[in-house]
Copies of this chain bind each other. A is one copy, B any other.
Amino acid sequence: MRQAGTNLPKVGRYNQAVVLERIQRADGVTRQEIAQHTGLTPQSVSGIVRRLIDEGIVREDGASREYSSGKPRTILRINADAGRAIGLHLDPVELSCVVVDLLGQPLVTQRVPTPAGADPTEVIAAMASLVQDVIEVADVSPDLILGLGLASPGPLDQKDGVVVSPAQLSHWGRVPITKLLSEATGLPVTLDNDASAAAVGERWAGSGRGVPNFAYFFFGTGIGGGLVLNQQVYRGGSGNAGEFGHMSVVQDGLPCSCGNRGCLETVARPAAIVAETHRRLQAGSASSLAKRFNVHPTSVDIRAIDAAAIAGDPLAAGVLAQAADYVATAVVNVVNIIDVDLVILGGHGSRDIGQRYTDAAARAVAARVMARTIRPVEVVLSPLGADAAVVGGAALVLHRAYSPQLSELLSD
């Protein structure tokens, strides 16, 4: 966004989005409360609400709230059925797709394995067919669909809607995925990296609702991140902010596929924990997993390691504690650098390890962050769980259509 002036029509659209977001965020709200919270005049709020009701996006829910003045005030809510958004998550292992209502609530979710070999054309065909299936199962009328949001591993060139050889699909080159997917589905496509999408989902329907500044640590196959700063999704100068997984936490550590070394990903993603556990078992360290490892090495996966740690196995507990310690350091660094109010951990890769990472990070933030005496910073595990990215993909569409976007207030 460049330094531009603004004008009345842009202000009108922006204020409408501010009002809509207030209604979306509250569990029932009156016109008076909206005016109070946004600083807009009661007349402006009334005018905007009338238009939103006419368009069917907002409804009066029949109930009302009485104030000391005695006059009952009508409660407003989002009309959840006024539209649908489709979310799609491209993960190197699995494609998932969801239909959500206007409140971001999932109606139907489906998953298929990502076609092996993973040639772009083939993957896009599989995506389009999955989208078709989900629309049919959810029985959505085409004119209700606002669009398709694609959550993809980064890096992305968002200006051109291009995926640039993500770490796990490095043979992909520059794939113009927005254009190809839009042609294959007939839907307008909004692209974002999986972690930013998950952050948007969290802002729309999870722990990030109403929090002005937060960081999202996204655990997928790798580790990514999303940032909401000053109520806006912050994407950075090239659209690639929040690469938390590629923060170097081990000086002179292992080389990472990204070109950096000692990255958080190399020590804390699920595959790194499994590799480190196998390494220690191979070296003959005592562990309840040793027997199992000798018979079926691959059965010593992240779930088995987590279970062994819970049962008190010192090797498993040690590996997980070390990984959690690196995650905690990374979280402390992000809080010291960006001074967020909240850190959320989530994504499908956090299934077995998320709570442990969250606890370690919460302890570290309370003890080691520079501004800890000024205000507490919360660290939480995402309530959206494994579906964070795909629900986030759908939320991208809602966000684009309905959230107040400074970039639009200030663009031509």
What is the interface of chain A, defined by CB distance below 8 A to chain B?
1-8, 11, 14-15, 18-19, 21-22, 37-41, 44, 154-155, 157, 164, 212-213, 225, 227, 229-232, 234-244, 246-251, 258-262, 325-326, 329, 332-334, 336-341, 367-375, 377, 404, 406, 409, 411-412
Q: Do B248 and A236 have beta carbons less than 8 Å apart?
A: no
How far is it, in angstroms, between the C-alpha of A341 and the C-alpha of B239 when the chains are bound?
11
**Given A5-B14, A6-B11, A368-B259, is A337 in contact with B225 using a C-beta cutoff of 8 Å?**
yes
User: A333: which B residues are within 8 A, CB to CB?
Assistant: 247-248, 333, 337
| Residue in B closest to A236 when the chains form the complex, CB atoms | B339
Instruction: Report the nearest B residue to A225, measured CB to CB.
Output: B337
A39 and B5 form a contact (CB under 8 A) = yes
Taking CB atoms, residues of chain B closer than 8 Å to A37 are 2, 4
Chain B residues, CB < 8 A from A22: 3
Q: Closest CB-CB distance, A237 to chain B, in whole Å? A: 4
Among A164, A236, A409, the most chain B Cβ lie within 10 Å of the Cβ of: A236
In-complex Cβ contact of A238 among B40, B157, B325, B375 (8 A): B375
In the complex, are the beta carbons of B237 and A375 less than 8 A apart? Answer: yes
Q: Tell me whether B1 and A238 are in contact (CB under 8 A).
A: no
- Contact yes or no, A340 B236, CB < 8 A: yes
CB closest chain-B residue, reference A242: B337
Contacts of A262 in B (CB 8 A): 329
For the complex, give the distance between the alpha carbons of A317 and B235 in Å.
38
CB distance from A76 to the nearest CB of B (A): 16
A408 to chain B, nearest CB (A): 12
| Complex copy number for this chain | 2
A368/B5 in contact, CB under 8 A: no
Q: Determine which of B11, B44, B339 lies in contact with A239 in the assembled complex, contact meaning CB atoms within 8 Å.
A: B339
CB–CB A244/B411 < 8 A: no
Assembly CA distance A244 to B337 (angstroms)? 6
Q: A18 contacts B4, CB within 8 Å?
A: yes
Across chains A and B, which 7 residue pairs bring their CB atoms closest together, nearest first? A236-B339, A241-B339, A240-B371, A5-B40, A237-B341, A243-B336, A260-B368
Chain B residue with minimal CB distance to A373?
Answer: B164
Could you tell me the distance in whole angstroms from the C-beta of A367 to the nearest C-beta in chain B?
6
Cross-chain contact of A368 among B164, B212, B261 (Cβ < 8 A): B261
Contact of A212 among B1, B14, B337 (CB under 8 A): B1
Is the Cβ of B15 less than 8 Å from the Cβ of A337?
no
Find chain B residues with CB under 8 A from A238 CB: 339, 371, 374-375
User: A385: shortest Cβ distance to chain B, in Å?
Assistant: 25
Additional 6 contacts, C-beta under 8 A, given A7-B11, A213-B236:
A3-B21, A5-B39, A238-B339, A243-B370, A260-B370, A334-B337
Q: How far is the CB of A261 from chain B (nearest CB, A)?
A: 7
Inside 8 A of A231's CB, which chain B residues have their CB? 1-3
A15 — which chain B residues lie within 8 A by C-beta?
5-6
Interface centre among A6, A213, A249, A373 (most CB of B within 10 A): A6
State how many angstroms separate the Cβ of A195 from the closest Cβ of chain B: 12
B404 touches A406 (CB 8 A): no
- A378 CB to nearest chain B CB (Å): 11
In the complex, which of the residues A22, A244, A339 has the most CB atoms of chain B within 10 Å of its own CB atom? A339
Can you report 30 A-B residue pairs in the complex whose CB atoms are below 8 A from each other? A2-B231, A3-B21, A4-B37, A5-B38, A5-B39, A6-B15, A11-B11, A154-B371, A229-B229, A229-B234, A230-B406, A236-B338, A237-B339, A238-B374, A240-B371, A240-B374, A244-B336, A247-B333, A247-B336, A248-B329, A248-B333, A249-B251, A251-B251, A251-B326, A258-B368, A259-B367, A259-B368, A259-B372, A260-B369, A333-B337
